Amino acid sequence: MTLSTPVALFFFNRPKPLRRVMEQLRQIRPSHLFLVADGPRRGNDTDRSLCAEARSIATRIDWPCDVQTNFSDTNMGCGRRVSSGISWVLDCVEAAIILEDDILVDPTFFPYCEELLHRFREDTRIMSICGWNSLIRWRHEKGSYFFARHGSIWGWATWRRAWEKYSFLLSEWQNANIEELLREWLPDGEHAAVQSWLFRRNAGRVIDTWDIQWTLTCMLNKGLSVMPAQNLVTNIGFGGSHTHTSNENDFQALMPHLAVETPLRHPSGDPTADPTFDRWRFLLYQLSTYRDVPMLSLWSRYLRANPQRKPPGMNDGFEMTLAALRHPGEALEILEHVKRQAPDNERLDPLIQAFGKLVERQAVE
């Protein structure tokens, strides 16, 4: 197949996963490819070598393709490099599919994005098309996709009209009542509280990420994301050398990607977010960060019993990461749902066992 929608690929110093992503693009043969690369860190000879190798791999194009490059000579960091790169791409074209060097997608991801970018190109209620569905299957019997208030950036697409609202520093929102705005948008109070905390922690600061700001930009502008009814993405970037997915034991590393059926089945009616999906997605992300559930459960119980006391050394926002522990029955239901979709994912088993014991203890108490 040949893809007419532009693809933007972001990379840095990881030639191994990049080779796999480029091989997939070689099969898809996009007609327009934007390559965005960060530069080596100062004084890091290994970076210089790996960055050069990655650029060589990415520019080895053997199909008819208009290729544009934006390679930084210096290290800008993930936050500035990706956000400025997306701005550059969407200054050049009206819409694009966006991949990073650790994202493998099902081949059906590309026509899915292409069709929906066209379908919703003038619908300002929609701000992104997403490929990653952390619940793996959701409402697949009702259509090929649905809508959510909280999107994902592991394989996604967007338009210039949406990205124009992006703010790296979120500075234009600093005088707004963020808590009220987020409570209006997110019916789940715990989810809204976490997003409010993220805003307070990051607004006005230069941080080495860009996606927190994008998520908040979408929420504060009441922008919906299209979510696939079946997960289309596998993230191959988990491990110790990776910036934001360093835990190689994270169960998200073993999530399977599936295919979306064609032609797409479009849901009827106006776009409306699925609140249960948003709630479960929020809790599942928290669960993916848990390592010692019994210890975290003790902390959760202590904090509920002593709401005015903050133990020394506790990180700001720590309590907000414990929402799943306040609802062990719901957390277990989510984990069991995902396990049914990914029966070979053995990393889910310890969490299922731990939350099963919490539910049993709760029943006794």
Confidence at residue 237, expressed as pLDDT on a 0 to 100 scale: 87
Confidence at residue 2, expressed as pLDDT on a 0 to 100 scale: 76
Nearest to 158 by CA among 237, 210, 214, 200: 214
Task: Tell me if 271 is assigned to some domain.
Answer: no
Confidence at residue 239, expressed as pLDDT on a 0 to 100 scale: 55
User: Pairing state of beta strands 66-71 and 156-159?
Assistant: unpaired
Contacting residues for 10 by C-beta, under 8 A, at least 6 apart: 36, 37, 81, 82, 85, 98, 99, 100, 101
Cα(245)–Cα(253) distance, integer angstroms: 9
Q: Tens digit of pLDDT for each residue in 100-132? A: 999 999 999 999 999 999 999 999 999 999 999
User: Pairing state of beta strands 233-235 and 103-105?
Assistant: antiparallel
Final residue before a domain boundary, out of 101, 135, 154: 101
Question: Does residue 364 register a pLDDT over 90?
Answer: no
Question: Does residue 1 register a pLDDT over 50?
Answer: yes
Amino acid symbol at 73: D
Task: Tell me if 196 is assigned to some domain.
Answer: no
Binning the chain into helix, strand and coil, the percentages to the nearest 5 are 45, 15, 40
Task: Tell me if 120 is assigned to some domain.
Answer: no
**How many domains are there within the chain?**
2
| Mean pLDDT computed over 202-228 | 96
Task: Tell me if 63 is assigned to some domain.
Answer: yes
Structural domain of 336: 282-364
Residue 316, Cβ neighbours under 10 Å: how many?
10
Q: Tens digit of pLDDT for each residue in 304-352? A: 888 777 766 667 788 889 999 999 999 999 999 999 999 999 999 999 9
Q: Tens digit of pLDDT for each residue in 248-297? A: 678 998 899 999 988 999 999 999 999 999 999 999 999 999 999 999 99
Q: What is the DSSP secondary structure assignment for residue 137, as one 8-state letter?
A: B
Question: Does residue 27 register a pLDDT over 50?
Answer: yes
Q: In terms of pLDDT, which residue wins out, 130 or 246?
A: 130
Final residue before a domain boundary, out of 101, 117, 146: 101
Question: Domain with 27 in it: what CATH number?
Answer: 3.40.50
Task: Tell me if 131 is assigned to some domain.
Answer: no
User: pTM for this one?
Assistant: 0.94
Final residue before a domain boundary, out of 84, 101, 118: 101
Q: Tens digit of pLDDT for each residue in 39-95? A: 999 999 999 999 999 999 999 999 999 999 999 999 999 999 999 999 999 999 999
